[in-house]
Amino acid sequence: MAKSTGKTKKTYQFKAELNQLLHLIVHSLYTHPEVFLRELISNASDALNKVRFMQLTNQEICDPQAELKIKIDLDEKKQLFTIEDSGIGMTEDELITNIGTVANSGTLKFLEEIQKKGKKPEGDLIGQFGVGFYSVFMVTDEVIIETQHANPDSKAYRWISDGKGTFTIEEIDRKKRGTTISFRLKDEHKDFAQEYRVKSVIQRYSNFVDFPIQLGKEKINKVEALWRRPKDEIKEDELTEFYKFIANDFEAPLGHLHLSLEGTVNFKALLFIPPKAPLNLFYDLENRGLHLYSNRIFIQDDAKELLPDYLKFVRGVVDTEDLPLNISREVTQHSPVMQKIRSILTTRILGLMEDWSKNDPGKYEKLIKNFGPLFKTGLNSDFANREKILKLLRFESTAKPKGELVSLDDYVSRMKKKQKEIYYITGESRDVIEKNPNLEYFRKNDYEVLLLTDPVDIFIIPSINEYDKKPLKSIEKADIDLEEEQKGGDGKPEETLSSEMLESLIKIFKETLGEKVADVKASKRLVNSPVTLVVGKDGLDPQMERMMKLMNQEVTPQKKILEINPAHPIIKNLARRNIGSSTDPILRKTIMQLYESAMLIEGNLDNPTEYVQRMNELLEEATK
Ligand code: ADP
């Protein structure tokens, strides 16, 4: 251990959130203790990349002769583990801020929820959440970090913590640039002090680390750029291991794309479709990017410009000779080379998706179920590829059992002769939608309806307008063009209300509901239900209304049109009561109850107490 300079040792408190998080990580959530190895190596490799970048950009660094490498030393008897890198190191501030905070503020909440449900998270959560370093507390009770930043003016520091609330930092005498992390392994994890054990964990991915890894006296990896090898020389399991390494994943990817382009722009790319979506698709992918290399030299691991947002689920590397090595982030962002690569990658990824959708539908369905919500947003942002994206969309549909998806082309191919529009309905889940009375007409008359259950749909589908010249139409809108069908099986019209009785009843409905509804009309779309609510032509989709409420947005309650089913027994009974006495209290109570039931089905009933009270009153009448 380096000597302390004798200056005061300062004690710091971890942020409260971090304490809880640590507790969760160490005690209940983590299933793969060997993950700490990959996390430490990947941090060391990042630190080495950063110092190499300083060298390339001719910045002055301390200890310039030091070889760029990672060194691991083990002491089996004493159960000691040490990992050292000659990377960029950390300043005092960086020790305090980088090793004391959680990158993703939603992390704790997420982990707590998972824990509450009594589940262990699948795969490697730590990596996803940017709290990798802390995984080390799974295998040890105390960690010592000694570090010297590459900036020649920086001092060296020692950080010590038991991961339980506080850490100390003191200045030390250390001449070496970089970071040394050491700790004594807990008894139950002492196997990580055995060389063969550590070697077997690291070997799987060590060849993808850009720097030599030395274990004891032995270099255990050859540094190679997999993407530069000819396609047919790369084995499937090498691809899998490479994916796991760069994506911090435990599972094999769904598939990959290996590109080597020469022409107006020259680059090689190795891209992967992950097998699963991150827990929070939109949030977790927001700052993602591909790893960017310039002529085999690592430039950055989050080159966001290389993919449009809606394809951010793709992971991988791009290596180009067309960018100067010392390129800064600001320059990469606006570089025409990056624009060209992005446009080629977009085309190729959409091409891969199209290929899967035709030739490997099972795989494509997995992709869409995982990443569909993000992918769809491309419709609103990538107008050049709109047609392709439209063809790649998949939805649940009344024509297929739950869980099976259809494309717009499938839908169009099944449309009835006289059908001019593509029908859809939105809702929280398939089960909820299937109970929506607005579906009744379509079910009875065998019209297919797309069932949109993804919360994103409501922001995207209305913008489609039409597909293959057929307008997309919500079946919850009042202006839908329904043909009057013959009711009853034998062609005879079913016994229904006389127009006078109906008109008089509608008048009572309007009086009772007053300002609550925009209008009351006789319905063509109902079969089994007494009433339903529909939206005016320019009205807000009910699903959108529900979403906005969920997001705590001000929504002016919009008045809907109540449609009533003149063939329904309740409506007929009400019409009869109305003739008896238009002031009959049961009549008005039932009307209010029917209206609120329709609100309830939509998910928009705000006050269930009154509803239940009224129901009890009606039940009392009925059981008299
Ligand atoms: P992540 O690597 O996802 O950012 P970590 O918890 O693993 O999260 O690390 C937090 C931060 O600590 C890193 O981003 C880096 O700034 C710093 N760090 C960790 N290990 C090292 C190292 N060996 N050398 C320099 N900095 C490091």
Closest CA to ligand 1's atom 9: 133
DSSP annotation string for 527-558: SS-SEEEEB-TTPPPHHHHHHHHHTT---PPP
Q: What pLDDT does residue 541 have? A: 75
Q: How confident is the model at residue 458 (pLDDT cuts 50, 70, 90)?
A: confident
pLDDT digits (tens, 9 = 90+) for 97-112: 888 665 555 556 666 6
Computed on alpha carbons and rounded to an integer, the radius of gyration of the chain in Å comes to: 32
Q: What pLDDT does residue 69 have? A: 96
pLDDT digits (tens, 9 = 90+) for 54-73: 888 778 899 999 999 999 99
Q: How confident is the model at residue 495 (pLDDT cuts 50, 70, 90)?
A: low
The predicted model gives 244-259 an average pLDDT of: 90
Closest CA to ligand 1's atom 13: 98
Cα 364 from Cα 357, distance rounded (Å): 5
3-state secondary structure of 616: helix
Kind of pairing between the strands at 315-320 and 422-426:
unpaired
Q: What pLDDT does residue 580 have? A: 85
Q: Which of 127-136, 140-149, 241-250 has the highest mean pLDDT?
A: 140-149
- Tell whether ligand 1 has an atom less than 6 A from the beta carbon of residue 99: yes
Question: How many of the other CB atoms lie within 10 Å of CB of 501?
Answer: 18
- Tell whether ligand 1 has an atom less than 6 A from the beta carbon of residue 367: no
* Least confident range of 108-122, 447-461, 480-494, 604-618: 480-494
- Tell whether ligand 1 has an atom less than 6 A from the beta carbon of residue 90: yes
Closest CA to ligand 1's atom 11: 98
Q: What pLDDT does residue 6 have? A: 78
- Tell whether ligand 1 has an atom less than 6 A from the beta carbon of residue 88: yes
- Give yes or no for residue 30 having a pLDDT over 70: no
pLDDT digits (tens, 9 = 90+) for 382-420: 999 999 999 999 999 999 999 999 999 999 999 999 899
Mutate which of 46, 94, 158, 211 for ligand 1 pocket (most atoms within 8 A of beta carbon)? 46
Write down the number of H helices and E strands in the chain: 21, 22
- Tell whether ligand 1 has an atom less than 6 A from the beta carbon of residue 274: no
- Give yes or no for residue 301 having a pLDDT over 90: no
Q: What pLDDT does residue 58 have? A: 74
Q: At residue 316, what are phi and psi to the nearest 5 degrees?
A: 150, -165
Q: What pLDDT does residue 296 have? A: 80
Cα 22 from Cα 135, distance rounded (Å): 8
Q: What pLDDT does residue 488 have? A: 45
Question: At a CB cut-off of 8 Å and minimum separation 6, what does 88 contact?
Answer: 47, 48, 50, 51, 54, 149, 150, 178
C-alpha 133 to ligand 1 mean position (Å): 7
Closest CA to ligand 1's atom 18: 43
pLDDT digits (tens, 9 = 90+) for 319-368: 998 887 666 667 777 788 999 999 999 999 999 999 999 999 999 999 99
Q: What pLDDT does residue 328 have? A: 66
Of residues 24 and 620, which shows the higher confidence score?
620
Q: What pLDDT does residue 123 have? A: 47
Q: Which atom of ligand 1 is nearest to 178's Cα?
A: 24
Q: How confident is the model at residue 124 (pLDDT cuts 50, 70, 90)?
A: very low
What are the structural domains, with CATH classification, of the chain?
A: 3-219 (3.30.565.10), 233-360 (3.30.230.80), 395-474 (3.40.50.11260), 499-535+555-622 (1.20.120.790)
Q: What percent of the chain has pLDDT over 70?
A: 89
Of residues 271 and 602, which shows the higher confidence score?
271
Q: Which atom of ligand 1 is nearest to 42's Cα?
A: 2
Q: Which atom of ligand 1 is nearest to 89's Cα?
A: 25
Q: What percent of the chain has pLDDT over 90?
A: 53
C-alpha 122 to ligand 1 mean position (Å): 23
Q: What pLDDT does residue 491 have? A: 44
